[in-house]
Structure 1
Amino acid sequence: MRLPFLPYDPKWKKQFESIKLELQAILKPLAPQIDHIGSTAVEGLSAKPIIDIQLGVENETDLELLPDLLKLPNIVYYEKYNQDWPERRFFILLNEPVDKIAVPDVVKTGEEIPAILHDHDLRVAHLHAFVKGSADWVRHIAFRDYLMAHPTVKESYQTLKQHLIQLEWVDGNDYNTGKDEFLKMQERNALKWYRERQQ
């Protein structure tokens, strides 16, 4: 499959702010830190037009409360990913209610992801939840800020993405593996840079 890929659009930040307000109201009991991450957060980067949002909660107990709090008509919880990445809870915000497109609101461990959920045109946002301050939480913030502060790295990432998007992929996860080598190297650089700035 070919994935959607658009030039940077300033509307993405406005879209994030709108979703953030909704999430703040829904998740008020947890008061999470809500950050715009991923390529749509970095001015000048082309991206799949899906907003990546990081929810930072205080502890693992709060992490376990998220699936119930985010049980909404247009959100799918990918419980099946917990087995491979137990520190994260992952949700997809859709532009249609799940009952309208006949998909479950939870994709459980051992279940196949319904084919229609691979249609990126249905996706509005990806919600990635972690305990605030955890290694994964820091990594996403550090990489975003590093790209913003290092134009040459951002340009290299843009070039890689422009190449990869021309290829056929099984799904979005398959596409992400194509970026793995670059991301691992630059995330190491980003973490070093980020930690030095925190001192």
Structure 2
Amino acid sequence: MSRKLDFFKVEVVPHDPNWRSAFETESKLIALALTENVVAIHHIGSTAIPQIHAKPIIDMLVEVKDITKVDTQTSAMEALGYEAMGQFGISGRRFFRKGNEAGIRTHHIHTFEVAAPQIERHLAFRDYMISHPENAQQYSELKRELANKYFDNIQGYMDGKDGFIKAMDMKAAKWRPSH
């Protein structure tokens, strides 16, 4: 049974090299839960960008053949400890979140059907940041400042990152086709 994870303390921590193996372990479980519907599983978000501070939550982007089939696979995800959140504010997405025994959030799963525009946006942002460490460090510093300012206000933290993320999304979209 999943716990409700309503209160969210905003905390960013230095990059942890174990995040990569945590992603790899969890992605295998997700692939088994969503079976042949899975096309690809990507590590996204700040835990996928080396050397920057991040909330210690593994963000995963799952590409599937049929997004509506995910709705019938929810029980398999719940068996892994995930809470199904539906579209959760983004049309065409199926979002799942998971916490540990203490109720601390550990994983986010963003599921989209192949060719959804959100897939390219997330992957371009990640790859751009990895290839542009100076921008990644700016992002890391911004996240640290916002986490200190909004330690008990996830919405304030998210709103504070929005302008920077949009600017990087634009740079990444222009950069990605050539890489």
TM bucket by the smaller chain?
A: 0.7 to 0.9
Amino acid at match of 2:82: I
Q: Is 1:12–2:19 an aligned residue pair?
A: yes
Q: Tell me, which stretches of 5 or more residues in structure 1 are unaligned? A: 102-120
The alpha carbon displacement at 1:171 in A equals 4.0
The alpha carbon displacement at 1:73 in A equals 5.8
1:167/1:153 CA distance change after superposition, 3 Å: same
Q: Is 1:22–2:29 an aligned residue pair?
A: yes
The alpha carbon displacement at 1:71 in A equals 2.8
Amino acid at match of 1:89: R
Secondary structure at the aligned position of 1:137 is classed as helix
1:191/1:124 CA distance change after superposition, 3 Å: same
Secondary structure at the aligned position of 1:48 is classed as coil
Query: 5 Å matches for 1:79-118?
Result: 79=86, 81=88, 84-96=89-101
Amino acid at match of 2:20: K
Query: Are the counterparts in 2 of residues 63 and 131 from structure 1 also a CA contact under 8 Å?
Result: no
CA RMSD of aligned residues (A): 2.0
Identify which of 140, 148, 153 aligns with 1:166: 148
Identify which of 138, 145, 149 aligns with 2:131: 149
Identify which of 46, 53, 78 aligns with 1:46: 53
Cα distance in structure 1, aligned partners of 2:169 and 2:105: 26
Please report the TM-score for the alignment, with normalisation by the length of structure 1.
Answer: 0.78
Query: 5 Å matches for 1:100-139?
Result: 122-139=104-121
Cα distance in structure 2, aligned partners of 1:178 and 1:125: 22
Identify which of 3, 6, 10 aligns with 2:10: 3
In structure 1, the partner of 2:160 is: 178
Q: Deviations over 1:77-132 (max 9, x none)?
A: 11372xx3222111112223xxxx8xxxxxxxxxxxxxxxxxxx621100111112
Q: Which 4+ stretches in 1 moved above 2 angstroms?
A: 59-69, 168-174
Query: Are the counterparts in 1 of residues 12 and 143 from structure 2 also a CA contact under 8 Å?
Result: no
Cα distance in structure 1, aligned partners of 2:21 and 2:35: 21
Cα distance in structure 2, aligned partners of 1:128 and 1:171: 22
Secondary structure at the aligned position of 2:172 is classed as helix
